[in-house]
């Protein structure tokens, strides 16, 4: 039985929630391996809508173990707010079905403060963060001054961590014109929430290793999208973690040999939230139509997403970087009714053609997409559950996507409902 990694292969918002939910029903363990509560997953189960930010999607299903790995940065207060929200919807969450890696770094109020102070100071050069402290928290992790979950169990250790952390942050805040951190207040808040949080702490690397040895199916769940990766994304308009499949191993304490299938989630068109380059962005009626039909507003931020045609160059690139075994193509039904569709098959920059997106920001800013036009379809694909339910033009579009990205379609999603899915390859049985 295979262990499966799910990654977004565009700029996020590809519909991972539904696909992960579909897969999590068949998995035993579902583990988040990077990101924080800036990620948004919307699940629709039997007509009931669940909106998750930090918790793994498998948490809404009974008899599943949900894990938050060490690659995640954790806001304790947001975690319990999300747990309370789900409890009100009838989802039972306890230490029996949720574990958090004891070496997970914590997001603190000072991280959110710094996020907002920097964005305000940057003016037009702002990156467009969610302001939730994700980036500053990862900075402290790499700078070896983070407070990690296990630190809450020992007051002396916590004091040492706070001293090192505040020496850094107070200097930053002074430069940005903000008051120093109230150390006593921050420590009190951490000691207050520690008894709630510590029971969830576990050596997740060991739990995962034991699960694998016993033959359990593991689903690794990523957040954001590959084009927001700290190394391979459209830097600096990226998130602060590794969003590609390699992070599934390091973000949970598993070796890369534990990964058997990488499923890349790909939207049938392209969207992006926030600042940064977007070669196929549409500022016309077609872009407006994609946004309206696709309900393109962020789950977490509510921000309107920028919309454009499918970019095969970028998806081919992200599939190669993550070693994608097959893609789940989502929101095909949003393209219903278009007379003509366009797919970006290459770029032109200063008269030179490229079959990839260059790293240099100056070159990215000059990209002109090269399009291939295809006939659209007037029939509805919404709710299709077999190839026979799809119009011929829609099948042709899907096949052309496969050719251009050098990767097969493993699953096809035709609505937010989990059962409106055409399965081509079962990732768990591949």
Rounded to 5 degrees, φ, ψ at 116 are: -70, -40
Cβ–Cβ under 8 Å, residues 225 and 9: yes
Is the torsion defined by CA of 181, 183, 184, 188 positive or negative?
A: positive
In the structure encoding, which two tokens stand for residue 202, read together?
């576990």
Options 37, 41, 111, 169, the catalytic residue = 41
Confirm whether 41 is a catalytic residue.
yes
Q: What is the largest CA-CA distance in the chain?
A: 67
Confirm whether 13 is a catalytic residue.
yes
Question: Could you give the CA distance from residue 236 to residue 258 in angstroms, rounded to a whole number?
Answer: 31
Cα–Cα distances in angstroms (integers) from residue 180 to residues 76, 117, 167, 177, in the given order: 22, 13, 10, 10
Options 13, 75, 229, 333, the catalytic residue = 13
Cβ–Cβ under 8 Å, residues 198 and 152: yes
Cα–Cα distances in angstroms (integers) from residue 375 to residues 49, 231, 332, in the given order: 34, 36, 14
Residues serving a catalytic function are: 13, 41
């Amino acid at each position: 039985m295979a262990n499966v990694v799910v990654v977004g292969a565009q700029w996020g918002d590809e519909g991972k929630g539904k696909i992960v939910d579909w897969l999590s029903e068949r998995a035993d363990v579902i583990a988040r391996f990077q990101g924080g509560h800036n990620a948004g997953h919307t699940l629709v189960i039997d007509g009931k809508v669940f909106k998750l930010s930090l918790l793994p999607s498998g948490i809404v299903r009974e008899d599943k173990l949900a894990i938050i790995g060490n690659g995640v940065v954790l806001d304790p207060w947001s975690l319990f707010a999300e747990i309370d929200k789900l409890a009100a919807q009838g989802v039972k969450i306890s230490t029996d079905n949720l574990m958090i890696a004891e070496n997970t770094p914590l997001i603190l109020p000072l991280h959110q403060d710094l996020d907002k102070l920097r964005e305000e100071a940057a003016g037009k050069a702002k990156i467009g963060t969610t302001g939730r402290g994700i980036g500053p928290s990862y900075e402290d992790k790499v700078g070896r001054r983070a407070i990690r979950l296990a630190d809450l169990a020992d007051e002396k250790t916590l004091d040492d961590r706070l001293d090192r952390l505040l020496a850094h942050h107070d200097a930053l805040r002074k430069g940005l014109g903000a008051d120093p951190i109230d150390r006593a207040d921050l420590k009190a808040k951490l000691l207050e929430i520690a008894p709630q949080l510590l029971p969830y702490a576990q050596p997740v690397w060991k739990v995962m290793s034991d699960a694998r040895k016993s033959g359990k199916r593991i689903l690794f769940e990523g957040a954001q999208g590959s084009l927001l990766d700290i190394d391979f994304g459209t830097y600096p308009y990226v998130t602060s973690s590794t969003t590609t499949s390699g992070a599934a191993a390091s973000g949970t304490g598993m070796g890369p040999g534990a990964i058997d299938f990488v499923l890349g989630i790909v939207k049938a068109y392209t969207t992006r939230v926030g600042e940064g380059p977007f070669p196929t962005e549409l500022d016309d009626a077609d872009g407006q139509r994609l946004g309206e039909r696709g309900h393109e507003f962020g789950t977490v931020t509510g921000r309107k997403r920028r919309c454009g045609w499918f970019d095969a160059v970028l998806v081919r690139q992200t599939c190669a970087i993550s070693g994608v075994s097959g893609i789940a193509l989502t929101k095909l039904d949003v393209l219903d009714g278009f007379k003509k569709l366009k797919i970006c098959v290459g770029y032109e920059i200063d008269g030179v053609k490229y079959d990839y997106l260059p790293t240099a920001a100056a070159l990215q800013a000059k990209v002109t997409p090269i399009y291939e036009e295809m006939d659209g379809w007037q029939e509805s694909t919404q709710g299709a559950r077999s190839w026979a339910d799809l119009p011929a033009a829609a099948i042709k579009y899907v096949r052309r996507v496969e050719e251009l990205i050098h990767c097969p379609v493993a699953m096809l999603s035709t609505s937010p409902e989990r059962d409106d899915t055409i399965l081509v390859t079962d990732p768990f049985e591949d």
